[in-house]
A = this chain, B = another copy of it.
Amino acid sequence: MPENLDPQYRRDPVTGRWVIIAPIRSLRPLTLAHSKPHARTGAGHAHCPLCEGAEANTPNEVYAIRDANSTPNGPGWQLRVVPNKFPAVHPLGEPVYLSEGAGDLFDSLPGFGEHELLIECPHHEVTPIALSDPEMTQVLTAYRERILALGGNPLYEYATIFKNIGAEAGASLAHLHSQIIATPVVPEAVRNELEMSRAYYDRRRRCVFCDILREEHTERHRVVAESASFIAICPFAPRFAYETWVLPKSHDSRYEAQTDTQYAELASLLKQTLGKLDTVLAEPAMNYYLHTSPLRSANLRYYHWHFEIVPRIARQAGFEWGSGCFINAVAPEKAAADLRAAKPPPIEAALGL
């Protein structure tokens, strides 16, 4: 029987945990094998499928910021969003739940959704701090545009926006890119945050994130950096060494509801924070991802959008997978002190000049 490459959501009958089975992902070309993520190694610039001029290597763009006289899927762009060539989920089919086995033991669902690649710049940059402030601002406003566009399809409940920097963080291509996966369900991690923060609100009539920010802003020993409207902190109980969250100081559950000025301010603080991590941890592999309220959500009183940045410098072991409890060798108070003291590396170093 030939292997079925169609993606599928499956529910574990014991834990209720959903996974995505996506055999097509095993066909991806992996040009990043090195563990130092920012080095310009791997297949390199000449063969990069994401550089300007290589547009024929990607599916047709669904969003782009382009020069006035350029044409779609040709050169002359600053940022492009294209469907992922090796998608974990795809827009075909319908979200129809299936059961199999005696007593309907095994639940599944075709892998319905959209998996997009957001190419952050036309030139071959590999570290986020090499982006200019306006370029980083374009990335953050493009996140908003994709949330609004994907929210136009009522079958999607959530868009997970994330970024992998370096092979050890799961990146297969070096050229700066983010990814977006729209799904018919709110993913477990976000659902759990929504449920827990709602329970907190029901008890205290306050947003738990606002309470955390008030506390951190007073105590200051877990603050990494801040601007007028945003703050970067190491959370009280981080799973990962040097885990850092970036949050708006004012309450809002919807990332997409910020003003253009705020995205520009956020871009500057995010770059500063990523740069500090680069300095302290010598260009670690990292992930960051956005936690925001579900698509088409009103401003929820109990939830607060934020980015979580997780350096990948320790490896999860049998204890973490077996217990669900993470062992973190660096207290967040030390991590924040290290990061506060650090300056981002000079841009020349980031550019390899």
Q: What residues of chain A have their CB less than 8 Å away from a CB belonging to chain B?
A: 3-4, 8, 10-26, 88, 101-103, 105-106, 160-164, 167-171, 179, 181, 183, 187-190, 192-193, 196-197, 200, 204, 208-209, 211-212, 214-215, 219, 235-239, 287-291, 308, 310, 314-332, 334
Contact = CB atoms under 8 A, between A and B. Distances in A.
B19 A181 contact: no
A13 B208 contact: yes
Nearest to A325: B187
Closest 10 CB pairs of A and B: A170-B317, A289-B322, A162-B318, A189-B324, A187-B323, A188-B324, A287-B318, A10-B237, A26-B329, A25-B329
Contact of A235 (B12, B193, B290): B12
Q: How many copies does the complex hold?
A: 2
Contacts of A323: 160, 181, 183, 187-190, 289
Contact of A330 (B23, B214, B235, B238): B23
Contacts of A24: 329
A127 to B, nearest CB: 16
Given A14-B196, A211-B103, A322 B308 contact: yes
Nearest to A5: B331
A137 B66 CA distance: 66
A322 B237 contact: no
A289 B23 CA distance: 26
Contact of A331 (B3, B88, B212, B321): B3
A169 B124 CA distance: 32
B334 A188 contact: no
Q: Could you say which of A19, A212, A219, A322 has the most chain B C-beta atoms within 10 Å of its C-beta?
A: A322
Given A25-B329, A288-B318, A209 B105 contact: no
A156 B237 CA distance: 22
A161 B17 CA distance: 22
A188 B325 contact: yes
